[in-house]
Amino acid sequence: MANLFPAIERFSAAPIYRVQAELDRKVESQILKEALDMCLKRFPYFKVRLKKGLFWAYLESNRKPAVVWPDGPYPCAGMDYRANNHYLFRLRCRENAVALEALHALTDGGGSMVFLKTLVAQYLRLCGEKIEPDKGLGVWDIDEEPDEEEFADSFLKYYNKDIKSLGIKSPAYHFRGTRHRQDVASVICGQMSGRQVAETARNYGLSVTEYLVAVYVRALLNVQGRTKNRRPVRVSVPVNLRNFFPSKSMRNFTNFILCEADPRLGSYRFEDIAAQVHHTMRRGLIKNNLIKSFSGNVNSEKNFLVRALPLGLKTVILSLIYHFKGENQYSGSLSNLGVVKLPPDMERFVESFSCYLAPNTVNPTNCGAVCYKDKLVVSFTRTVRESHIEREFFSFLVKQGVKVKVKSGS
Amino acid sequence: MYCVRCGVELAEKEGFCPLCGTKAYDPDEVAKLLSECEGKERQPAPERATVRYIKNRYVAIVRFCIFMSMLILVIVNLSVNGGLNWSLYPLSVLALLWFCMIFPVKYSHRFHPVILVSACVGAASLFLIAIDLLTGFGRWSLIALYSAAYACLAVSLPLLAKKLNAKHIITILAACAGLYLFALDFEVGFKGWSLYAACGIVLLWCFAMLPLYLNKSYSALISFIVDTLAIALFLYLVLMVNGAEDKFFSLALPIALSACLPAILTCGVSKAARFSVYGILSLSSLSAAIASLLINLFINLNLKAQAFLNQWSIITASCCLFVAAFLFATEKSKKIKEYLNKKLNI
């Protein structure tokens, strides 16, 4: 049984994200449903529903069957939980694509990717292909018994109880534009060569994530440059903590690093932004700093006053805290799931992967990136009509010598 | 297909660039049009000096205004009366104003805000003492001084004493509050009211803080025993001050024991039987039922009423017994316990 901060799990503005795989064949929803049911036995922590207690919302085993949905025109659209049999993830399929959309209450990008790979492998097996599981590459054996540690909350294992909650930063710049109607999120995907981006990043002494973040910060700075009352630009970069702390947990185990550039201090060259992002990321990724960054939140959850608040009040108060300490502090998110690898006997059936982050109420644009077979897909999701940020982002990459192929829609 | 404005390649299906809305052109024209676009690259915005150092200017202006006002007052008083008398009042006001307006601004980087505010409150207290002395020392300013000292202590101690636990801070503040009340009472000619307040503070401290200082295994049991003694002592004090000591053994002590002894027994039994929270709550409800009946009994005996028990205690005891029975059933049923644990998990 897990306690959940209910405020950020409001159904109306739930932070949904999506991981998607495109296969070499048309996806049959019946077979996919069969594969899903088989996979959920191996991943029982995904076969859950959200229940409300007096003090906390908690996850409880869901007896109803999971549903496979045809993909709609907009990714990461709000979930109809009742129609979805109260599952906290939604499996969608369209032509040759399988997409998994989930809430962070359930798991993070790393956990979702393992689930999606295992599901796709099982789907291909049901289609008659012979695919061996490979746990190291994220394709798990569905006949294996789930490990107890996969259910655990790893934050509780590694947090430091002496660290108090970190202070609130000043509000960051937020892009304002003409809003679409509710539940509509436009998507622009840029495909490029991962090797080419890595080489360009290396010229600045950066990793691919750092380089993409620097380009994103620059794009936000340039877009804000056209407005008055300038504010700091901050990009939130999710970090998969499993790479730093040994953990088998399939629950959410990520934290964020905020990379900042303050236009009030003067204009920035791209080299300045790159250096700032590089040092912020290096500093943030030191193990002790990671512990510091998430311990404050865990300690807040452990605070007796917070625990003793009834769920209704907690939802209201924590919504405000999440607004000021969360989305109000950054201008956008860039989540890089890194290089996705598959077992050789499965690789030829999967053509590409992509990742989408739903925009939140304050920041209308978010960005997800994933690389597979040298194809780096950077996807921007936005709830406004204007695509200034995407334009600044991709046109700068082109100026840097990276060949970018852009398409709209998922 | 490429976008001539953004330079990106467009997917086959895109008729317009999704980034800028420009119509997709033939790739052969891209090189020529891109070179035109590069010439129109936007210049970076000029750097702005946004940080303004107004602090020193503000301090200088305020200091000058106050100094000039003081000078004028002194000159006028000396020239009209040949000495300093009435001007001392506005001079002390100006001195206070100077301190409160200059000190926090000038030393904001060096001292903690709590120290700055405390210093200002201290200065205001000194100002009141000065006024009191100038008007023949009626001692009223001492009340302001005590209040200011306690307010400063209450605000600054939790913020400055980082090494102290919250429980130590609360204990120190409670002790200071007691002393403050005593001082106030003495200042207005000891009437004894501070004794009630101080004993009330001790009683509250016993209830709320004592368990935190005790060994966890027996904290509830020991603190209930100490609470019982504290309540008895408090009641005796109140009755003694009002000249009704005889009611202590006949009414106050039995009522106090009726309330406390079941609680002590609850602690002891739940500890021995290793009950979960539902078992403890069940025993507590049972204790409340017994306590309400006993209290009613002692009141009626003391008042020499005809009936031993009244309706209120019977209704209260019935409700408590019902709750106790439900909670005891929960303690014994694993299924209900699991359901409630989920719903009430804190």
Interchain contact B344–A (C-beta under 8 A)? yes
* Cross-chain residue pair B8–A406, CB shorter than 8 Å: yes
What pLDDT is attached to residue B132? 82
**Among B20, B42, B342, beta carbon nearest to A58:** B342
Chain B contacts of A308, Cβ < 8 Å?
346
Would you state the structure tokens that stand for residue B137, as one six-digit string? 């020392």
What pLDDT is attached to residue A91? 94
Mean pLDDT across B55-81: 83
What pLDDT is attached to residue B27? 61
What pLDDT is attached to residue B40? 58
**Among A54, A188, A399, beta carbon nearest to B344:** A54
* Cross-chain residue pair A390–B14, CB shorter than 8 Å: no
* Cross-chain residue pair A405–B11, CB shorter than 8 Å: yes
Share of chain B above pLDDT 70, in %: 89
What pLDDT is attached to residue A289? 92
* Residues 43-82 of chain B whose Cβ lies under 8 A from any Cβ of chain A: 44-48, 50
> If you count residue pairs, one on A and one on B, with CB atoms under 8 Å apart, how many are there?
82
Chain A contacts of B44, Cβ < 8 Å?
225, 267
**Among B7, B50, B343, beta carbon nearest to A395:** B7
What CATH fold (topology level) applies to the domain A3-150?
Answer: Chloramphenicol Acetyltransferase (3.30.559)
- Shortest distance between the Cα of A286 and any Cα of chain B, in A, equals 27
- Model ipTM? 0.78
B115-147: b (≥16 Cβ within 10 Å) or e: bbbbbbbebbbbbbbbbbeeeeeeeebbebbbe
* Cross-chain residue pair B346–A307, CB shorter than 8 Å: yes
- Give the helix ranges, DSSP H, for B248-310: 253-273, 277-303
* Cross-chain residue pair B346–A308, CB shorter than 8 Å: yes
Reported as a pLDDT band with limits 50, 70 and 90, residue B33 is low
Return residue ranges of chain A for CATH 3.30.559.10.
3-150
Average pLDDT of chain B, as a whole number: 80
Chain A contacts of B1, Cβ < 8 Å?
none
pLDDT by position in tens, chain A (length 410): 445 544 444 444 557 899 999 999 999 999 999 999 999 999 999 999 988 888 888 888 999 999 999 988 888 887 888 899 999 999 999 989 999 999 888 899 999 999 999 999 999 999 999 999 998 999 999 999 999 899 988 999 999 988 877 778 889 999 988 888 766 788 999 999 999 999 999 999 999 999 999 999 999 999 998 667 889 999 999 999 999 999 999 998 999 999 999 998 988 999 999 999 999 999 999 999 999 988 988 888 888 888 888 988 888 887 887 777 778 899 999 999 999 999 999 999 999 999 999 888 888 899 999 999 999 999 999 988 889 999 999 999 999 999 999 998 76
What pLDDT is attached to residue B31? 64
A153: enclosing H helix or E strand? none
Helix (H, G, I), strand (E, B) or coil at B92: helix
Mean pLDDT across B203-207: 82
What pLDDT is attached to residue B38? 63
Q: Is the pLDDT of residue B296 over 80?
A: yes
Comparing A21-35, B21-35, B39-53, B75-89, the range with the smallest average pLDDT is B39-53
Q: Is the pLDDT of residue B45 over 70?
A: no
* Cross-chain residue pair B346–A56, CB shorter than 8 Å: yes
At A403, give phi and psi (nearest 5°): -85, 120
What pLDDT is attached to residue A7? 41
* Cross-chain residue pair A407–B342, CB shorter than 8 Å: no
What pLDDT is attached to residue A284? 94
What pLDDT is attached to residue B190? 75
Q: Is the pLDDT of residue B46 over 60?
A: no
Share of chain B above pLDDT 90, in %: 6
* Cross-chain residue pair B9–A53, CB shorter than 8 Å: no
Interchain contact B244–A (C-beta under 8 A)? no
* Cross-chain residue pair A53–B14, CB shorter than 8 Å: no
Q: DSSP letters along B196-246, please? A: HHHHHHHHHHHHHTHHHHS-TTTHHHHHHHHHHHHHHHHHHHHHHHTT-TH
A96 Cβ neighbours under 8 A, 6+ residues apart: A22, A23, A24, A25, A26, A27, A351
Interchain contact B9–A (C-beta under 8 A)? yes
Q: Select the CATH number that applies to the domain covering A168-408 from these four: 3.30.559.30, 3.60.20.10, 3.40.50.2300, 3.30.70.2860.
A: 3.30.559.30
Mean pLDDT across B175-200: 80
Interchain contact B37–A (C-beta under 8 A)? no
Q: What is the DSSP letter of B62?
A: H
* Cross-chain residue pair A408–B14, CB shorter than 8 Å: yes
Task: Rank A215-219, A264-268, B210-214, B218-222 by mean pLDDT and report only the highest.
Answer: A215-219
- Give the helix ranges, DSSP H, for A183-342: 194-203, 208-224, 270-284, 287-302, 304-308, 311-325
Angle subtended at Cα A28 by Cα A25 and Cα A30, rounded to the nearest 5 degrees? 160
Return residue ranges of chain A for CATH 3.30.559.30.
168-408
Domain residue spans of chain B: 1-39, 242-346
What pLDDT is attached to residue A161? 87
What pLDDT is attached to residue B93? 85
Interchain contact B158–A (C-beta under 8 A)? no
